[in-house]
A = this chain, B = another copy of it.
């Protein structure tokens, strides 16, 4: 499961309707889709048809058969953060459409390759052919990343080279985080601390959103310090989102979340409240370690959810989410001291992290 993909899915309001609250954020997302859609379509048109067909759904704005999705250019959380950051720092969002498209293309690579890696991990290291043409998925991901870098290299904007450096560094960080996650998964549950898990989750869930904000800063002409602060804002907000999402995935009301209850407990990746409970050193944590060491077949989701809660995993995740959101706001204030100017970025992140629960 791609962390960033979750935020993007979230950006799509249920049934295509925007909730009445969050109107400003919904409009920012819609505006990002309008601005970035044409850039994405032109960029992906250079791919051979078969790879384009694999690539389009990863961008959230096309069906697997290549026909465009009704309702516009997809979710565009990353592009919306790029444009909101440009606007918050007094730049021209219209000049950053290509950079925003490059972020979305990188998101596409990540979703495609993470899918291959997830299926591989589920099979003990051997990628299967759960989707038609696993080989084409790898190729389409490679091609999307190349197109992302091409867009930035072709962009005459003075911020483009620094944006290209940040995007490339982000890909390296995402790959490193994905590798580190595998290493942690391979260790015995009780031996991995919550701090180790959260460091990996911060990179996996936060690096691309942080990079989106930083690229927006660079396109507004801001210096590296401001860009780094906005990177921190997006990164901490992304991690807060992941924590909240995991809590809701375990304890959310299925009638309100729209997903099956406890589904996240059956996923190959352990939710963060679970890893905290496993590392808690409590009797419930120790019982949970026993359940996890015996494999997924042995785990009753209701029993796991109760043990995680008693071991403090739910409280830990909620405290962490609040802490990370507070760090995000601190970084935002550092980058954009005027609260009125910072309002757009804040509304967007609040909209993306708000969940029925």
Contact = CB atoms under 8 A, between A and B. Distances in A.
A31 B121 CA distance: 42
Given A164-B150, A165-B154, A179 B125 contact: no
B51 A143 contact: no
A117 B145 contact: no
Given A113-B138, A142-B175, A153 B125 contact: no
B125 A133 contact: yes
Contacts of A47: 172, 176
A95 interface: no
Contact of A129 (B50, B125, B140, B141): B125
Taken together, the copies of this chain in the complex come to 2
A168 interface: yes
A126 interface: yes
Interface in A108-144: 109, 113, 116-117, 120-121, 124-129, 133-136, 138-143
Nearest to A139: B175
A138 B50 CA distance: 21
Given A133-B125, A164-B150, A143 B176 contact: yes
A310 to B, nearest CB: 34
Q: Which of A113, A116, A125, A149 has the most CB of B within 10 A?
A: A149
B176 A48 contact: yes
A355 interface: no
A265 interface: no
A161 B162 CA distance: 12
A143 B120 contact: no
A172 B146 contact: yes
A239 to B, nearest CB: 20
Interface string A172-190: 1001101110110000000
Contacts of A124: 129
A171 interface: yes
Contacts of A140: 175
B125 A126 contact: no
A46 interface: yes
B126 A179 contact: no
B136 A116 contact: no
Contacts of A199: none
A121 B134 CA distance: 10
A169 interface: yes
A147 interface: yes
Given A50-B179, A135-B117, A161 B172 contact: no
Closest 5 interchain pairs by CB? A153-B164, A150-B168, A146-B171, A149-B149, A127-B127
11 contacts: A46-B169, A50-B179, A120-B127, A125-B135, A126-B127, A138-B138, A142-B142, A143-B171, A146-B175, A149-B153, A149-B168
